[in-house]
Amino acid sequence: MATNESAENYLETILILSRTLPVVRSVDIATELGFKKSSVSVAMKNLREKHHITMTDAGYIYLTESGREMAEMIYERHEFFSEWLISLGVDESIATADACKMEHVISKESFEAIKKSIQGTKTEQE
């Protein structure tokens, strides 16, 4: 399931857009990320070749099972790290930017250990 940060960002964006839009198209992704449509098209081709997305003839983009798993993993990390950093007093814009970096580099084992530790601390405080 190894992939690069760029691919993970695209998958996460597709997941987020799919929660608010009836269908996701390359132009939606380009608009959301501020990228050229041509760049998004190349990325979508790569994600199709890796079987992380499917694309209809009409240009609608859907996550495959592997794509959804990866997108949800990255999104969970992003949300977790953003909320955690904000709770520590980090400005929201900085916390969000830092979370975006952290979500890609941390191992599954380390993420789960941090999550367990922080959730354990929250439970003790309640």
List of residues 6+ apart from 7 with CB closer than 8 A: 43, 46, 47, 50, 52
Half-sphere exposure of 54 (CA within 13 A, CB side): 6
Residue 2 has pLDDT above 70, yes or no: no
The CATH code of the domain at 70-125 is 1.10.60
Centre a 10 Å sphere on the Cβ of residue 7 and count the other Cβ atoms it contains: 18
Tens digits of per-residue pLDDT, 61-112? 999 999 999 999 999 999 999 999 999 999 999 999 999 999 999 999 999 9
Topology of domain 5-64, CATH: Arc Repressor Mutant, subunit A (1.10.10)
C-alpha 52/C-alpha 44 separation (Å) is 9
Tens digits of per-residue pLDDT, 99-117? 999 999 999 999 999 999 9
Between 57 and 125, residue with greater pLDDT: 57
For the full predicted model, state whether its pTM sits above 0.75: yes
Residue limits of CATH 1.10.10.10 in the chain: 5-64
Average per-residue pLDDT in the chain?
A: 92
Residue limits of CATH 1.10.60 in the chain: 70-125
C-alpha 25/C-alpha 55 separation (Å) is 9
- Identify residue 3 by its one-letter amino acid code: T
Q: In this predicted structure, what is the pLDDT of residue 39?
A: 93
